[in-house]
Amino acid sequence: MRGRPTIRKLSVLGSRLRVASWNDDAPGDDLPLLVFSGIGMNLELLEPIAKALAPRRVISFDMPGIGQSPDPLVPYSMLSMAMTTSIVLDRLEIERVDVLGISWGGSIAQQFALQHRPRVGCLILAATAAGVLMVPGNAKAMARFTNPREFTVGNAIRRTLALMYNGGGAGIPVSLNAASPPSPVGWLCQVGAMFGWSSLPLLPLLDVPTLIIAGEEDNVVPPVNSRLLHAMIPGSRLRLVQGGGHLFMLSHLDRFATEIDGFLAMKTPVESA
């Protein structure tokens, strides 16, 4: 279905997941694009990105306890969520995908690419880092990031996202009306999955064509983290968005979509200019 996503509910490893697929009738041989979104971000916030990338098929799901996916029965890790994702693709009868990870979702994207290499065509890491071994953002932004009351209440999450994601970058104002608060359990599981996890030692083994893209004025995940990923991932390509904050993929949507389309069309790793 073009425009509006097809929504499914899938039970996988003890979690009931709300899965969305945009542009199911996409023509051509392009791989579907699997998107892992940021902490607390529900599917509806990805709608502008999915539309900008049409006619490419885009797939994503609400993490347990996020959006309309119920809380998980037990906490999950990056490793177990990568396994869950592989089962989701099996249920959708999809063998291989290109992968986009945004912010927190970039961690699962890296883990999925390392853990399930045969299923990954290309990898795109946006506004993300190598896990706990990262250069942190400014203190005010990080304090909100670790405060559950700033994420699990409706008005609070929209205020927090506005400050964290729009803050520090110039561009088209981003509407966050589609944001819905995660449950406290869902938020805690996302934060907990990051503790003790880092991709840094394994990044030299990541032989997937990789685009790393960051906002130059990101005050949550400073672009030095993207430079580190670029230095560690062989043959990766780095792009910085001038004036972009942490949510540059929405405030600079046309630039973001152009970079993704161009990279996926090449299908080969390219060194940054």
Residue 223: its pLDDT value, please? 95
Partner residues linked to 173 by β-bridges:
none
Q: The domain containing residue 160 runs over which residues?
A: 6-266
Low-confidence ranges of the chain (pLDDT < 50): 1, 167-168, 268-273
Residue 135: its pLDDT value, please? 85
Examine residue 204 and state whether it is found in any structural domain, yes or no.
Answer: yes
Q: Where are the alpha helices (DSSP H) in 58-147?
A: 78-91, 104-115, 139-145
Gyration radius of the chain's alpha carbons:
17
* 103: annotated active-site residue: yes
Residue 155: its pLDDT value, please? 63
Examine residue 55 and state whether it is found in any structural domain, yes or no.
Answer: yes
Which tokens is 241 given? 């968005």
- The overall average pLDDT reported for the chain is 87
How many whole angstroms separate alpha carbon 66 and alpha carbon 74?
A: 15
Residue 198: its pLDDT value, please? 96
Side chain identity, residue 116: H
Residue 168: its pLDDT value, please? 41
Domain holding 11: CATH number? 3.40.50.1820
Residue 268: its pLDDT value, please? 47
Q: Report how many domains make up the chain.
A: 1
Residue 118: its pLDDT value, please? 97
Residue 221: its pLDDT value, please? 92
Examine residue 273 and state whether it is found in any structural domain, yes or no.
Answer: no
Residue 137: its pLDDT value, please? 76
Examine residue 216 and state whether it is found in any structural domain, yes or no.
Answer: yes
Of 60, 57, 76, nearest to 18 (Cα)?
60
Examine residue 272 and state whether it is found in any structural domain, yes or no.
Answer: no
Examine residue 129 and state whether it is found in any structural domain, yes or no.
Answer: yes
Residue 1: its pLDDT value, please? 42
| Residue from 60, 103, 199, 236 carrying the catalytic annotation | 103
Asked if residue 11 lies in contact with residue 64, where contact means CB atoms within 8 angstroms, the answer is no
5-26 tens-digit pLDDT: 999 999 998 889 999 999 998 8
Residue 115: its pLDDT value, please? 97
- Residues whose CB is less than 8 angstroms from the CB of residue 246 and which lie 6 or more positions away in sequence, other chains included: 103, 127, 137, 164, 165, 167, 168, 169, 215, 218, 219, 220, 221
Examine residue 19 and state whether it is found in any structural domain, yes or no.
Answer: yes
